[in-house]
Chains A and B, each alone.
Chain A
Amino acid sequence: MNVLGEPVRLGPLVARNRIVFPAHLTNTAVARRPTPQHAAYYGARAAGGAGLVITEEQSVDPADRPYEKLVDGTDPAVVPGYRAIADAVHAHGALVLAQLGHNGGQSSSIYSRAPVDGADDEPDPMFREVPRPVSDLSWLVDGFGLVASHVAAGGLDGVEVQCSQASLIRQLFSARSERALPFLTAVLRAVRAAIGPDRVLGVRVQGDEGLPGGLSAADAVRVAEAVEPLVDYVNTAVGVATRTLPLIEPPMGVPAGYAAHVPTAVRAAVSVPVIGVGRFTTPGQALEAVTSGSCDLVGVVRGQIADPAFAGKALRGERVRRCIGCNQECIARVGLNQRLGCAVNPVAGRESVVSPPASGSARVLVVGGGPAGLAAAVAAARSGHAVTLAERSDVLGGQLALASRAPERRELANLVADLAHEARDRGVAVRLRSPVSSVSGVDTVVLATGARPALPSWAGGLERVVDVTDVLAGRVAPRGRVLVVDAGRGHAATSTAELLARRGADVATLTPALVAADALAPTLDRERWRRRAAEVGIASFTDRVVVAARPGLVVDVLEHLTGTVTPWPTDWVVHAGPPTPVVPELVTDVPVVRVGDCLAPRDIAAAVREGTAAGGSLP
């Protein structure tokens, strides 16, 4: 037991430990109401040991609907859903609060068909709608109070008022409006009146908008000091949900604790407990946040999505399955109006529908030690099967192991390491350098042989036209002018381009897409990549495809928008395109299940999901 395990008083109630599951979008609501999935989702983190769970935002105004699956807390029909969430979390001894907020101008009229209400008439840079400036705020205060009464009726332990990432209140503070603090104060009083003295009231403040002249930690301190008498704790945040979203949900290149300056400053100014957040993916990082004095409680969102038992394991000093900050399923999917998932934890977002794994005692051979094979082996072993994993090469990890060699992709290797560790813990016999051609002595085979690089036909066997994996594996070391062709394989082209540029090559990227590095945008990697690419002098060209290559080396580049073809001299071409599934001819008379890239080349999440499903459902 360490300091993370110490109980902490939040006004009238006590959280059993210091680990918080903060508010985040799940896209789980149906018809704007909470669902059994909400209860199962939060319940799983409570069961995993979290001390405090804060639900995703509940809207206080039916017309405030920036995304389809935002719960309308003003509808009394939400109360049974709140009750189910409260019961699911309380069953495991954690506290649960509802976050209340209004998105103001950071919203859309797409569902409401009404103008969005903003602090002023400046459009949000993402939604780009001209808001109707809000003149009368009293009805919004009433909305907060109404929803808070529903929260109390549903038996939740209290309310967190959001003034941080997507919030009309933040917009008022950001616009330096004199109405901001009186409005927030009125909201807090209304909420307190609705929930009474026996429930927790917290506030989440904005401490770094990441914009010139934007709100800073000093502003967070001023707000926290002003409302301290009204609240039981202060939560902190950095980034604006629309304009500086990558600050809120940073990808794997951003270190843990990147937002510590905000809770540190607030904690120095107020005496109520302060929550800090900041891409904490391991128990050690969470512990460090508290022991360093930066915060009293530590918010861990993605870490607990990846491993619902994060908190309990942190208190017991056990390993977790780490979030790798890939943002594929929790951020990219949610941004596309899809239910939250997790690349490393296929159960995330499906807690209410997943049945426990089958049990059995079959002899299982998993062919391939990439993420799909490893996940299959872990799941099969968890179900009681006797599992052997055969990997052709001398390392585990498959494409992930290679991809993790590129700049800012290192944490991909954490997934390989964690899965390999779990496999060994569960008694999987791992055999490296073991190609499989015939199978005997097993009851079932899981084929997870992945995909191999495929060069386009125009490559024509030219020596200096290579695949990104040739570079990542060290088989070639391109120098001089390198043209990296991004024909669609996620980060492969962009991260290899950066690797080569950092080694001194003169790198240009070329893509048929309209946007350079477009695959990086949904996971919020793109802005950072562009800055790094600018640092190392990578030139990016869009709307172009290579149509021919000839010795020299010269490639012909077609600008598909205009039809212009231009010869392009270069020393090397490094290509990233869709790979080809590897499906070995296995001599066997037992059932064979294909998972991951050998079925269809896709992403990490598909590999882990299919491997886990196959391994967990073997007879």
Chain B
Amino acid sequence: MPRVLGEEIVLGRRTAPSRVLFGPHVTHLADPHRPRALGPDHVAHYRARAAGGAGVVVTEVASVVAEDHPYEDAPLAPLCGDGWAAVADACAPFGTLVLAGLGHAGGQGSSAYTRGPLWAPSAVPDPASGEVPAVLSSSGIAAVVAVFASSAALAVQAGCDGVEIQAGQHALLRQFLSGLTNLRDDAYGADRAMVLVEVLSAVRAAVGDRVLGLRLTVDELAPWAGITPEVARSFLQRVADLVDLVVPVRGSALTVGATRPDAHTAPGFLRAACRAVRVDGVATVLAGSVVDVEVAESALAAGDADVVEMTRAQLADADLVARARAGSAPRPCVLTNQQCRVRDVRNPRISCTVAAPEVPERVVGRSVGEVLVVGAGPAGLEAARTLARAGCAVRVVERADAVGGLLRDVAGLPGRELFARLVDWYADELAALRVPISLGVAVDPEHGVSRPGGHADVERQDDPHDLDRVVLACGGVDRPGRGTPIAAALRDGLPPGPVVVEDPVGDGAAVALAERLAAEGREVAVVAPGLLIGPGLARTGDLVDAQARLARAGVRRVTEASVTAFEGGVVSVVDVATGAASTLPGAVLVDAGPRRGVPVASRPGLVVVGDAVAPRTVAEAIREGRAAARGLLA
């Protein structure tokens, strides 16, 4: 099936082989000995997307000057020449255009590594760090303009097809453009776009006829002082002659999570903004959670954009464009942000909830006898798919009457609906691979297979070899406790009345359950031991939004507390720091505490994976399912 997104497009004087852009993102893929350079792992990361059909790759944003050091291994332009050259060389065989991301985080940077002050247009503290920056002088601004130009010159000298200049989130240039952060009383305050124009003019001079891209915040979601689409369009009109493509994005320092939101924000949220800021002669890129090929096609066909940025979709499936061209379904991005949003001081390497990039997907191994996969949750499904693709006979047994495991229940929660797509994708893949799946069959790994009815009527398998190669992916079990286990609450619903959810885990499940219950009109409280409800959402970018949703829904957030008793419609809680006791109305207490694994250890012929080992997230399930399959094949 012909696909618009698979078509070539001319950008400036260059031609991109497809209309799909792989945008700049933090990776923590650097060689620790050269933390501010682009290393071999970066090259492999970009090459895989180029090989998969990406039209444009924008490399991780490099700081144009050492005083800007926003995270420990943030690339630094003067140290990136070799890395840019290696990326350009690696992507060249595929025709993919490589643009070097260039930026300066300004007041949204970090002083932790330079140990000097942050530099910004005005002394406005960043909401995230609270740090008051030093104010750039006019000579300081001139120096910034000069290093943007010299960095761009280095990038094209290294063989990049061009550069992309950061005026989006985490960007000094946006801070100059915005009334939130530019309170200057000099010419750079009177004309907030002056620095942007100076930088783009200097960069254009430096890159000649190479591609000059601009990533521009077109809506800071703060209309009282921030950049609005109308203002952004006027900025773009002024620089239209200088730039070849623009990537409109949104969000300010007050709304960092809005720039790359998780699935709580509907994909394609920038389409209207894209239309609003389009100017003649500049290719416009639709960004913003575009993970679905159909959505991308529709935006291109409607003329809302010329190119689509599908960064997370290409993290989930590096071969996205190739698959779209072939009419097959890419592995779906589920927009959890759990593994790929790694602007995190701990420097976790970028990963993906669904792709498990740590374990190669392609298998070269000898075929073995039939493998039994016990459990059709994500771990079992991934194991079965990996085995079947390697030509190995595999069958799946699942206790429930449908595949998906816990994912099916989780997909019923607000913001987690996309997990259903992942389950459907696996089901389609296994059907295409003709993997037999027996539903309603429970297995006791120590003994054998039982028919519906559970473990009571265990019968030994006819063929003992069947149990010689088993992937046990039966999931975790509930922990005995005071309340209704959250898994049961998700699956079976709850009796009427006020609900208290105790959440010592702090991932998204308890938050989402509380939201769903509140939306049903229930009185809901969430009790958590930490400083916040759902602290695990910090990694997804949803932490602040989650608090707002809970507050607006009227959910009581009881932090630094634990439940001491549940009796007669009253839940007693105690403040863990002060010892102060209080009570909450609760007809139901939901225990959102950790589940536990099953007491079965791996042994020759039996590999235990996923939640059965220790309950964790989808990412670990998929990773271990694939690794187990590879281990059996090796």
Contact = CB atoms under 8 A, between A and B. Distances in A.
Which of B131, B476, B504, B614 neighbours the largest number of chain A CB atoms within 10 Å of its CB?
A: B614
Nearest to A117: B614
A580 B124 CA distance: 10
B578 A534 contact: yes
B117 A338 contact: no
Given A121-B596, A599-B117, A68 B601 contact: no
B187 interface: no
B33 A30 contact: yes
B572 interface: no
B623 to A, nearest CB: 6
B375 interface: no
Interface in B72-126: 72, 111-113, 115-118, 123, 125
Given A337-B346, A338-B113, A521 B551 contact: no
A129 B616 contact: yes
Contacts of A109: 616, 620
Nearest to A528: B577
A333 B505 CA distance: 25
B168 interface: no
Given A67-B346, A514-B547, A333 B616 contact: no
Contacts of B300: none
Contacts of A131: 614
- If over half of A's interface residues share one DSSP class (helix, strand or loop), that class is named, otherwise mixed; here it is loop
Contacts of A116: 614
Nearest to B31: A31
Given A113-B358, A561-B547, A530 B578 contact: yes
Contacts of A609: 115
Given A561-B552, A562-B552, A602-B111, A132 B130 contact: no
Given A113-B623, A600-B134, A123 B594 contact: yes
B551 A130 contact: no
B117 A578 contact: no
Given A337-B347, A600-B117, A519 B111 contact: no
A557 B347 CA distance: 38
Interface string A314-340: 000000000000000000010011100
A111 B32 CA distance: 14
B448 interface: no
B614 A130 contact: yes
Nearest to B551: A561
Contacts of B552: 561-562
A105 to B, nearest CB: 10
Contacts of A115: 613-614, 616, 620
Contacts of A519: 130
B490 interface: no
A534 B575 CA distance: 11
Given A128-B504, A543-B547, A601 B614 contact: no
A129 B594 CA distance: 8
Nearest to B107: A600
Interface string B529-555: 101100010000001100110011000
A128 B551 contact: no
A530 B531 contact: no
Given A31-B33, A110-B346, A602-B117, A132 B597 contact: yes
B596 A130 contact: yes
Interface string A92-111: 00000000000000000111
Contacts of A521: 531
Contacts of A600: 117-118, 123, 131-134
Contacts of A488: 125, 130
Contact of B614 (A125, A132, A531, A599): A132
Given A561-B547, A606-B111, A130 B133 contact: no
B595 interface: yes
Interface string B595-611: 11100010000000000
Interface in A527-552: 527, 530-531, 534, 543
B348 interface: yes
Given A128-B506, A514-B547, A562-B552, A68 B346 contact: yes
Nearest to B533: A514
Interface string A562-600: 100000000000000010110000000000000000011
A599 B134 contact: yes
A31 B32 CA distance: 6
Nearest to A577: B125
Binding site secondary structure of chain B: loop
B133 A125 contact: no
A609 to B, nearest CB: 6
A3 B132 CA distance: 48
A125 B504 CA distance: 8
Contacts of B560: 530
A132 B345 contact: no
A338 B69 CA distance: 13
A316 to B, nearest CB: 32
B460 to A, nearest CB: 27
A121 B597 contact: yes
Contact of A338 (B112, B575, B595, B597): B112
Contacts of B616: 109, 115, 129-130
A125 B529 contact: yes
A351 interface: no
B12 interface: no
Interface string A473-513: 00000000000000010000000000000000000000000
A559 B557 CA distance: 14
A601 B132 CA distance: 6
A189 B313 CA distance: 53
B593 to A, nearest CB: 9
Nearest to A120: B596
B532 A602 contact: no
B1 interface: no
Contacts of B548: 561-562
Interface string B119-156: 00001010000111110000000000000000000000
A130 B358 contact: no
A578 B120 CA distance: 15
A336 B614 contact: no
Contact of A68 (B347, B358, B505): B347
Contact of B125 (A130, A337, A578): A578
A338 B543 CA distance: 23
A333 B112 contact: yes
B580 interface: yes
B615 interface: yes
Nearest to B131: A602
Interface string B575-590: 1011010000000000
Contacts of A470: none
A562 B551 contact: yes
A130 B595 contact: yes
Contacts of B72: 337-338
A135 interface: yes
B134 to A, nearest CB: 4
30 contacts: A31-B33, A68-B347, A109-B620, A110-B346, A110-B348, A116-B614, A121-B594, A121-B614, A123-B594, A125-B504, A125-B529, A128-B504, A128-B536, A130-B594, A130-B614, A132-B597, A132-B613, A337-B347, A338-B345, A530-B577, A530-B578, A534-B575, A559-B551, A561-B547, A561-B548, A562-B551, A578-B125, A578-B132, A600-B117, A602-B132
Interface of B: 32-33, 72, 111-113, 115-118, 123, 125, 130-134, 345-349, 351, 358, 476, 504-506, 529, 531-532, 536, 543-544, 547-548, 551-552, 559-560, 575, 577-578, 580, 594-597, 601, 613-616, 620, 623
Given A338-B113, A600-B134, 19 more contacts: A31-B32, A31-B33, A110-B348, A113-B358, A113-B620, A115-B616, A121-B596, A128-B506, A128-B594, A130-B476, A135-B601, A333-B112, A488-B125, A515-B532, A521-B531, A527-B577, A578-B132, A600-B133, A602-B117
Interface pairs A-B: 6 shortest CB-CB: A534-B578, A561-B551, A600-B134, A600-B117, A31-B32, A561-B548
